[in-house]
Amino acid sequence: MKKMLLGAMAGAGLLVLSLTGLQAAPQYRDQDAWHQDRDSYYRGEAWHARFFERVRMDLDHVQSAAFSGADEDRIVETKHQLDELQSKMAAGEYDQPELDSAIGALGKVVADNRLAPRDRDMLTDDLNRMRDYREHHENWR
């Protein structure tokens, strides 16, 4: 009798674990689809014109899962820096110090925030593209 009860409890535990795993899978697939869409955005050269907008979208994505407090504050500050940069660029101004400030803010998010590995890789890619823009902005169209 005791063995049957233990066996039933173990079976119930496995069922709960398997259902929990099934529930997590769709969330991972959704994340995967988001990252796949992002990757396809960067095929070709058309992305240059809307690059900073895309960085903002990536930050919005990361912010949706961010811890409150300092992690979220760093994201908000980075988005503010991007807004300042984009507003100057919309007026036809290239502002190296403003760009450096936005790069520095994004670098702090990458270095200091608690991020999922894929999100850290994504923001590191954004950071590298921003640095590339700084070096070659005259050729970006």
Alpha carbon of 127 to those of 9, 45, 109, 110: distances in Å? Answer: 50, 18, 10, 9
The CB-based long-range contact list for 87-95 (8 Å cut-off, 24+ gap) reads 89/52, 94/137
Q: What is the largest CA-CA distance in the chain?
A: 81
Cα 78 from Cα 108, distance rounded (Å): 9
21-47 pLDDT per residue, tens: 444 444 445 567 767 777 766 677 767
Inter-residue contact 62 to 119 (CB < 8 Å)? yes
75-129 pLDDT per residue, tens: 999 999 999 998 888 888 889 999 999 999 999 999 999 999 999 999 999 999 9
